Chain A
């Protein structure tokens, strides 16, 4: 019966199409939905922000202290790096709170906000 055979091949083609479209969906999804942010729980964000700020200052001050020991330039590197560290900490907090994830740099962020705007 040729009819049945045709039907079968049509069905298989449909199935192929469905599989293909699902595959596409999966790989499309993978190219970043506008997600990548932390859970919208305020407590989580607050805790993160605090740690981020302190860690920035601590790492900056530590790096400055180390550089001072190495270059014998006490206290200049400490002062400079302390301030840079504080700036880095604040920037990280800004990124965390805006739900931009933790990406260094702005490229991602901009693409994400553009996407959001388009929506």
Chain B
């Protein structure tokens, strides 16, 4: 019986090495490509008609657009509008990546810590640079909570600095852990079903519920990742 974590193993499809670094095209890359192509196709094909009264597909595309536009307006404000392309891309990439991972025999690239960590670090560095460019050295006042008594500052500033550097870690670990745990759990229950024979009907009931739950987690985690990006952006733009 296959181990429940075997699904996360990367297979290299097109072996490729550059200067001793393994740059193979793997299953993970394949599903990332599928996600990007899927999102692009979804958005361009559904908006091709561009009717005043939208059909089903156009409605879906418009809904996802408005969802992110509202999220940015509520969390970042008017200045956040110019970051819409990045945040929208991020959301669609994670959302579709998570959902595509729910298809049997597919691969969930968001269950790889390096993928989520790379995204989180990009956001972290980007947000820090935006803050530095907008506010210059004043940006570092972020680490001094307003109204701090001077005596407490030596204690609070290191805590704030650490809590700033926690951001990329918690952001990436949250998405990765949720996706990995969920898929492992589904595999475990799937294995129960296979092993129990006729009695396997019992775990199937649970598996159905778990699948629904996983789809919810996939959407929720994409949302959480994007909202947190917005909040970080807001911090950098408005300080406090």
* A59 in contact with B165 (CB, 8 Å): yes
What does the 1/0 interface line of A2-36 toward B look like (CB < 8 Å)?
00000000000000000000000011011111011
Residue B93 at the A interface, CB < 8 A?
no
Could you tell me the distance between the alpha carbons of A4 and B220 in the complex, rounded to whole angstroms? 55
Q: Say yes or no: A56-B166 contact (C-beta < 8 A), given A88-B160, A102-B228.
A: yes
Q: List 29 A-B contacts (CB under 8 A).
A: A30-B77, A36-B75, A38-B224, A39-B223, A44-B220, A51-B174, A54-B173, A55-B170, A56-B166, A56-B170, A59-B166, A59-B169, A84-B158, A87-B159, A88-B162, A88-B166, A91-B159, A91-B163, A92-B166, A92-B170, A101-B234, A103-B235, A103-B240, A104-B160, A104-B163, A104-B235, A105-B142, A105-B240, A106-B146
- Kindly list the 6 A-B residue pairs having the minimum CB-CB distance in the complex, ordered from nearest: A107-B240, A30-B77, A88-B163, A55-B170, A30-B78, A88-B162
Could you tell me the distance between the alpha carbons of A54 and B178 in the complex, rounded to whole angstroms? 14
Give the A-B contact count at a CB cut-off of 8 A: 116
Q: How large is the interface on B (under 10, 10 to 19, 20 to 34, 35 or more residues)?
A: 35 or more
Q: Shortest CB–CB separation between residue A93 and chain B, in angstroms?
A: 10
* B231 in contact with A105 (CB, 8 Å): no
Q: Shortest CB–CB separation between residue B76 and chain A, in angstroms?
A: 8
CB-based nearest B residue for A51: B174
* A105 in contact with B146 (CB, 8 Å): yes
Contact residues of B between 122 and 146, Cβ < 8 Å to A: 142-146
What does the 1/0 interface line of A65-84 toward B look like (CB < 8 Å)?
00000000000000001001
Q: Shortest CB–CB separation between residue B167 and chain A, in angstroms?
A: 7
Most interface-central of B80, B159, B173 (chain A CB within 10 A): B159
Q: Say yes or no: A29-B167 contact (C-beta < 8 A), given A103-B234, A105-B240.
A: no
Q: Shortest CB–CB separation between residue A40 and chain B, in angstroms?
A: 12
On chain B, the residues within 8 Å of A88 by CB distance are: 159-160, 162-163, 166
* B167 in contact with A32 (CB, 8 Å): no
Q: Say yes or no: A104-B75 contact (C-beta < 8 A), given A36-B234, A48-B224, A84-B159.
A: no
* Majority secondary structure, A binding face: helix
* Majority secondary structure, B binding face: helix
Q: Shortest CB–CB separation between residue B150 and chain A, in angstroms?
A: 16
Interface set of B (CB-CB < 8 Å, partner A): 73-80, 142-147, 158-160, 162-167, 169-170, 173-174, 177-178, 220, 223-224, 227-228, 231-232, 234-235, 238-240
Q: How large is the interface on A (under 10, 10 to 19, 20 to 34, 35 or more residues)?
A: 35 or more
Could you tell me the distance between the alpha carbons of A36 and B160 in the complex, rounded to whole angstroms? 20
CB-based nearest A residue for B227: A38
Contact residues of A between 43 and 62, Cβ < 8 Å to B: 44, 47-48, 51-52, 54-56, 58-60
Q: Say yes or no: A106-B145 contact (C-beta < 8 A), given A32-B77, A36-B231, A52-B170.
A: yes
* A63 in contact with B162 (CB, 8 Å): yes
Could you tell me the distance between the alpha carbons of A38 and B125 in the complex, rounded to whole angstroms? 23
Could you tell me the distance between the alpha carbons of A87 and B227 in the complex, rounded to whole angstroms? 24
Q: Say yes or no: A29-B142 contact (C-beta < 8 A), given A104-B235, A107-B240.
A: no
Q: Say yes or no: A47-B142 contact (C-beta < 8 A), given A84-B158, A91-B163.
A: no
CB-based nearest B residue for A103: B235
